[in-house]
A and B are shown apart, each in its own frame.
Chain A
Amino acid sequence: MGFLKRPFLAFLALAALGLIVNFGFNAYIQLIVLFILVNCLLSMSLNLVNGYTGQFSLGHAGFMAIGAYFTAFTSSKIHFLPDSLQLLEFFVFIFGAGLAAALAGFIVGLPSLRLKGDYLAIVTLGFGEIIRVALLNMDFLGGPRGYSGIPSFGPFMVSFLFASVWILICFFTIWRIVHSSHGRGFLSVREDEIAAEAMGINTTEMKVKAFVLSSFFAGVAGGLFAHFTAFISPSSFTFLQSVNAVIMVVLGGMGSMTGAIVAAVLITALPELLRPLQDLTGIDLRMVIYSLALILMMILRPQGLFGGYELTDLWRKYVRRSA
């Protein structure tokens, strides 16, 4: 069971963090912490497509929506295990949510991944919007009124640990794949498709694989989101949510796992940190500042915070050297 050693240690660390938040902060901040976890999943998963494989996707919210609705529907309608094992049941449904999103990712990805750059971005945007409009028109899922009464996990600590398990599954899956021959295949697609093909890499397969895996975790993120908020509607999954995911990846530095996580924390917490400003001025300037910061960052630090390096690389580079 050696392969579980590091994930287990990481789980203990996360659990400790969870305990601090559990006893040290109020319910409002606890909810934000849970959203941070959801966004970490989103940004890590999109990083696989945008950062490692070099394909633009602007439709991540669509896959998240599919996962969210899948979870909402199944967990409120179906029970196949005794109540004491309800968490296990939720786990199965969230896995199903991931699979449903992955299937959608496959259907969307297969035709559209032949396109490049801006075109791919626009097509994925289109698919994301189509998923949203379709949900608006599905009456059994609540249509525009949304879907409410999604069971919650109960206390904060349970939600936190449940999400942490998924965070670790996502992190180690992507990390290990990226550091294997398959992951190098992804990288080669990002670097130069023609050279990659000439070296025997099936670039279409690589792109679709990355896209499907990424959709899977977006679906998982959506599933967790549904449990945390207990209510979802098509307006939770707009174009803006997809943009948010891209911004987290770019802010963190494309192709940096730890960067994606740090960026997810920052982006989720920023609007809350800016709240005092709103109280002070009386106007909601948060989104104005947010968009302005985005433009400035693109101009001043286009490679993102970490620029493709991992936290550990930077540690080695700066901290150890100076010691």
Chain B
Amino acid sequence: MSAVLLEARNITMQFGGLKAVDSLQFQVKKGQLAGLIGPNGAGKTTVFNMLTGVYQPTHGEVFLDGQSLSGLRPYEISHLGITRTFQNIRLFKGLNVLENVLIAAHQHVQYGLLDTLLQTKRFKSSEQSLRSKVIDLLHIFNLEKKALEPASSLPYGEQRKLEIVRALATDPKIILLDEPAAGMNHSETHQLMETIAKIRSQFNLTVLLIEHDMKLVMGICENIAVLDHGVKIEEGAPSVIQNSAKVIEAYLGVEDEA
């Protein structure tokens, strides 16, 4: 039994009269590759927004390593080790690929303002090592050759990959991926899933990913929670999910579209 890394305890998100997420309870264990699935509009992204502090849950709490995240700002949560990607890619479009990733590494920067102003050795060596670390990360996704290109000039699939690289640069304990394969074709998706599995073992990461395409996550996720209309309707290993009547019902009619 490995320890629980991330836990959502009865979190609810209410927008006016609408309960986008209702008393959601789930855990992600250290090192696990977990999935959060559900039809479109089930509230998956809202869950991510609560986990990362973009929204404060109306009720309930989120815990990371036993520490409550209530009231923390998104950047503080990022410093504690939760990082994410976005469903509608949110890169720093006006900056180049390298800068995009360097920004995420800012929290690990070793030099202060004075070092910057006086251009000390510490500034130079630390900038240098930061850059080489980032180049190494870019290398995993074969993006190092495009380091100096504007992020907005990358093709769609590479923009998604760049978001993952950027998230990794924060040195996270857990990475939340919001539909990482959206807009990719079959072989690209397959390749991406392999990379995700690879970085998990390489960086000792825990991964939680959102997908509305059920088949996709069945292959790699070890534990899956299914969300429908803001409520968790099922949770368990892929085999459990596949045979659940409730899940099949929730997905009926959406199946072909996905």
A residues sitting closer than 8 Å to B (CB atoms) are: 2-3, 172-173, 176-177, 180-182, 184-185, 187-188, 190-192, 194-203, 308
Contacts and interface: CB of A to CB of B under 8 A. Distances in A.
B86 A181 contact: no
Contact of B78 (A173, A192, A197, A308): A197
Contact of A184 (B103, B113, B120): B103
A199 B167 contact: yes
Given A177-B117, A199-B83, A187 B104 contact: no
A196 B170 CA distance: 11
Interface of A is mostly: helix
Given A182-B113, A199-B167, A200-B107, A3 B119 contact: yes
A198 B107 CA distance: 12
> 6 shortest A-B CB distances, which residue pairs?
A191-B92, A200-B78, A197-B74, A195-B90, A199-B104, A200-B107
A30 B75 CA distance: 50
Interface residues of B, number: 39
Contacts of B106: 181-182, 184-185, 199-201
Nearest to A202: B75
Contacts of B90: 192, 194-195
Contacts of B83: 198-200
A200 B75 contact: yes
Contacts of B74: 194, 197-198
A194 B119 CA distance: 30
A219 B250 CA distance: 63
B1 interface: no
12 contacts: A180-B116, A181-B105, A188-B103, A197-B53, A197-B54, A197-B73, A197-B78, A198-B52, A198-B54, A198-B74, A198-B75, A203-B75
Given A184-B103, A185-B103, A188-B103, A198 B119 contact: no
B94 interface: yes
Nearest to A5: B119
Nearest to B98: A184
B91 interface: yes
B52 A195 contact: no
A180 B123 contact: yes
B86 A195 contact: yes
A308 B94 CA distance: 10
Given A181-B130, A182-B113, A187 B78 contact: no
B3 interface: no
Given A181-B106, A182-B113, A196-B103, A202 B73 contact: yes
Contacts of B94: 187, 190-191, 308
A180 B92 CA distance: 16
Given A2-B119, A3-B118, A177-B117, A199 B166 contact: yes
A187 B91 CA distance: 12
Nearest to A188: B103
A108 B107 CA distance: 27
Interface of B: 52-54, 73-75, 78-79, 83-84, 86, 90-95, 99, 102-107, 109, 111, 113, 116-120, 123, 127, 130, 166-167, 169-170
Contacts of A198: 52, 54, 74-75, 78, 83-84, 86
A45 B38 CA distance: 50
A313 to B, nearest CB: 13
A196 B83 CA distance: 11
A191 B107 CA distance: 18
B173 to A, nearest CB: 13
A188 B113 contact: no
Nearest to A4: B118
A197 B75 contact: yes
Contacts of B169: 199
A176 B78 contact: no
Given A195-B91, A199-B78, A200-B78, A173 B117 contact: yes
Given A176-B119, A184-B102, 16 more contacts: A3-B119, A176-B116, A181-B103, A181-B111, A185-B106, A187-B99, A195-B86, A195-B91, A195-B92, A196-B92, A197-B53, A197-B54, A199-B78, A199-B170, A200-B104, A200-B170
Nearest to A181: B109
B159 to A, nearest CB: 12
Q: Which of B73, B75, B83, B118 has the most chain A CB atoms closer than 10 A to its own CB?
A: B75
Contacts of B103: 181, 184-185, 187-188, 196, 199, 201
Q: Which of A173, A176, A181 has the most chain B CB atoms closer than 10 A to its own CB?
A: A181
A29 B177 CA distance: 61
A2 B121 CA distance: 10
Q: Which of A185, A190, A196, A308 has the most chain B CB atoms closer than 10 A to its own CB?
A: A196
B97 to A, nearest CB: 13
Nearest to B104: A199
B69 to A, nearest CB: 14
Contacts of B91: 192, 195
Contacts of B105: 181
Contacts of A173: 117
A24 B66 CA distance: 74
Contacts of A202: 73, 75
